[in-house]
Amino acid sequence: MEEKSVPHYRRLYEQLRKGIVDGIYKEGDLLPSENELCALHNLTRPTVRKALDLLAHEGFIKKQQGLGSIVHKLPKGIGILSIAGTTTAIGKKNLKTTTVVRPRVQNWPSDFFFALSDEFKTVGCIYFERVRFVNDHPIFYEQTYLPNINLPRFTSRNLDNKSLFDLLRQNYQLEIKGGEQYLKAIEAVDEKICEYLNIRTGQPVLYLSRKLETNRINFSFFSFMYCNTSDFSLYGVF
Amino acid sequence: MEEKSVPHYRRLYEQLRKGIVDGIYKEGDLLPSENELCALHNLTRPTVRKALDLLAHEGFIKKQQGLGSIVHKLPKGIGILSIAGTTTAIGKKNLKTTTVVRPRVQNWPSDFFFALSDEFKTVGCIYFERVRFVNDHPIFYEQTYLPNINLPRFTSRNLDNKSLFDLLRQNYQLEIKGGEQYLKAIEAVDEKICEYLNIRTGQPVLYLSRKLETNRINFSFFSFMYCNTSDFSLYGVF
DNA sequence: TTAATTCAATTGTAAATACAAGAAGTTAAA
DNA sequence: TTTAACTTCTTGTATTTACAATTGAATTAA
């Protein structure tokens, strides 16, 4: 009996992905060919190809006609620009999270960067702030705004060292399907930012504004992130 | 008789894309349904779906099960983070380009950020610098390195107000298939950068390091871009 | 030995088909 | 009037089949 209703291509994708990040498939290796994967997992080629396309799209493999699927080298930077949340992008062992402003219900800022529906404006938002440490250095200072709709008990949840994506999926059946993001380089002028990220006033930080879309229709939430990129780069493929 | 060998899904993708950027399909509109597109273009659903998946992947549409393909609003920022080159991302009318260092053959820098094959190191590179103006404001200062392999007459070409991607495709049959990128926020300390981008010393700029992969196997080239993001954001979807 | 050819394996493109799942409107019942 | 069930249209997932294009190794010919 199969679990729930996760599509086959998605399960194969996750299995292969795990094989790559765990080092079972190493850089330069060829994945099993499409036909081999078909036989191994009792699937058909279009299904297998869909899984491989996902991997290629996120930079884990490069496909080459006539040759196969080549495992790509692991990036030097933090792969936060694609759909992966911070926890997935960095890995739990190197990531620590502290909540500096606990979740609370409030109104949306009047000059909010993203467009808000009337419903969103009416119900207000759940707001919180977190600082995330990579190898014990504070790298991300993140402000999150969730529409206050159907999120019972959220304000009393503990977000320390947890993946927000996981929490939303496990407790509210919310799956992040995609989103859009805007990037800027700015000076860290706000005192709080400098304090949290342990940088001097005026130091450049990368400012990332994101709208995150979920499987619940018309339910998106928002995140504004200040990144200290002096030691790390943000990494992405395209 | 059909042109060359452009896949059907690709041609449909480009046609729909043009319909969106030209405003024939407006924000919030529904594209014709998959079955309608099949009938219109004499294609089958998997082919049509592949075209739509491309559009969705680049943020032009959102697909919603049971409803259709919804045209997404045009982004506020510059969509350079995906595969589009600068010219495509901004549009020719608002983009001007000047060459500040004409293409020349030289050695690779000793501390080059990306790994280079032995062949690349042997042949050296073609190097040039350009400044790109959006609405007559200098926004991008870009340093480009191309492996000096099979690019006859490149050093004598004029790059002003031209798309490098187009030039490579038309003159050398080189198609950009994808790549990887690293982003940082840095201070503009180099005098040349400040002069070219017309900013003061110490102002934050977004530094974008890119490896661009082509259809010629093992032929990639590299671009390092300093972006003044005080008036524009870089935009991407995921 | 070298170069050209052939061959098998791999990914790329495309069609035809079937059913599931979700959204929206229509109809019928309460 | 309101609610519920039904129908229809949409996209999502999956199978099956076929052929094209590319690669790399093996084979053959010079």
CATH of the domain at B40: 1.10.10.10
pLDDT at A86: 80
Residue B235 lies in a domain: no
Among partner residues B83, B181, B184, which is closest to A229 by beta-carbon distance?
A: B184
Q: Using 50, 70 and 90 to split pLDDT, how confident is the model at A4?
A: low
Query: Which residue among B40, B71, B102 closes a domain?
Result: B71
Provide CB contacts within 8 A for A150, sequence distance 6+. Answer: A172
Residue B140 lies in a domain: yes
Distance between terminal CA atoms of chain B? 37
Instruction: Give me the domain span that covers residue B13.
Output: 8-71
Residue B233 lies in a domain: no
Residue B105 lies in a domain: yes
More confident residue, A88 or A137: A137
Q: Are residues A50 and A141 in the same domain?
A: no
Flag residues of chain B having pLDDT under 50. Answer: 1-3
B95 in contact with chain A, both atoms CB, cutoff 8 A: no
Mean pLDDT over each residue of chain A, to the nearest integer: 92
Residue B122 lies in a domain: yes
Q: Are residues B185 and B134 in the same domain?
A: yes
Q: Are residues A60 and A106 in the same domain?
A: no
Q: Are residues A188 and A96 in the same domain?
A: yes
Q: Are residues A124 and A187 in the same domain?
A: yes
Residues 34-53 of A with CB under 7 A from strand D: 42-47, 50
pLDDT at A89: 79
Cβ-in-10-Å burial (0-12, 13-18, 19+) of B200 comes to exposed
> How far away is chain A from the Cα of B80, in angstroms, using its nearest Cα?
10
Task: State the nucleotide closest to B69 in CA–C1' terms.
Answer: D11
pLDDT at A2: 39
CB-CB neighbors (< 8 A) of B234 in chain A: 182-184
Taking an 8 Å cut-off on Cβ atoms, the answer to whether B229 and A183 are in contact is yes
Nucleic strand C near CB of residue B66 (< 7 Å): yes
The spacing between the Cα labelled CA in A151 and the C1' in D3, in angstroms, equals: 27
The spacing between the Cα labelled CA in B20 and the C1' in C27, in angstroms, equals: 38
pLDDT at B5: 79
Among partner residues B181, B202, B213, which is closest to A236 by beta-carbon distance?
A: B181
The spacing between the Cα labelled CA in A64 and the C1' in C1, in angstroms, equals: 32
pLDDT at B2: 39
Residue B191 lies in a domain: yes
Q: Which residue has the tokens 């949340």?
A: A85
What DSSP string describes B118-183? Answer: HHHHHH-EEEEEEEEEETTEEEEEEEEEEE-SS-TTGGG---TT--HHHHHHHHH---EEEEEEEE
How many percent of chain B have pLDDT more than 90? 76
Taking an 8 Å cut-off on Cβ atoms, the answer to whether B229 and A184 are in contact is yes
Q: Specify the amino acid at residue A81.
A: L
More confident residue, A26 or B162: A26
Which of A70, A175, A184 to mutate: most B Cβ within 10 Å?
A184
Count of all residues that appear for chain B in the document: 238
pLDDT at A194: 97
pLDDT at B4: 56
CB-CB neighbors (< 8 A) of A75 in chain B: 180, 182
CATH number for the domain harbouring residue B216: 3.40.1410.10
Among partner residues B83, B180, B238, which is closest to A75 by beta-carbon distance?
A: B180
Task: Please give the Cα distance from A70 to A32 (Å, whole number).
Answer: 10
pLDDT at B42: 96
Task: Please give the Cα distance from A128 to B20 (Å, whole number).
Answer: 37
A205 in contact with chain B, both atoms CB, cutoff 8 A: yes
Six-digit token string for A113? 């960067």
Q: Are residues B66 and B92 in the same domain?
A: no
A182 in contact with chain B, both atoms CB, cutoff 8 A: yes
pLDDT at A87: 80
| Strand, coil or helix: B67 | coil
Query: Which residue among A41, A71, A101 closes a domain?
Result: A71
Domain count, chain B: 2
Q: Are residues B101 and B175 in the same domain?
A: yes
B236 in contact with chain A, both atoms CB, cutoff 8 A: yes
Long-range contacts, B212-218 (Cβ 8 Å, 24+): B212/B176, B212/B178, B212/B179, B213/A62, B213/B176, B213/B177, B213/B178, B213/B179, B214/B168, B214/B174, B214/B175, B214/B176, B214/B177, B215/B173, B215/B174, B215/B175, B215/B177, B216/B174, B217/A64, B218/B117, B218/B119
Q: Are residues B33 and B131 in the same domain?
A: no
Q: Are residues B35 and B148 in the same domain?
A: no
Q: Are residues A212 and A114 in the same domain?
A: yes
Query: Which residue among A71, A106, A126 closes a domain?
Result: A71
Q: Are residues A117 and A66 in the same domain?
A: no
Mean pLDDT over each residue of chain B, to the nearest integer: 92
Which of B61, B140, B182, B225 to mutate: most A Cβ within 10 Å?
B182
B201 in contact with chain A, both atoms CB, cutoff 8 A: no
Residue A3 lies in a domain: no
A229 in contact with chain B, both atoms CB, cutoff 8 A: yes
Report the sign of the C-alpha dihedral through residues B115, A82, B91, B70, in that order: positive
DSSP state of B78: B
B189 in contact with chain A, both atoms CB, cutoff 8 A: no
* A71-119 confidence digits (pLDDT tens): 998 888 788 888 777 887 777 778 899 999 999 999 999 999 999 998 8
Residue B212 lies in a domain: yes
Q: Are residues A63 and A115 in the same domain?
A: no
Taking an 8 Å cut-off on Cβ atoms, the answer to whether A81 and B180 are in contact is no
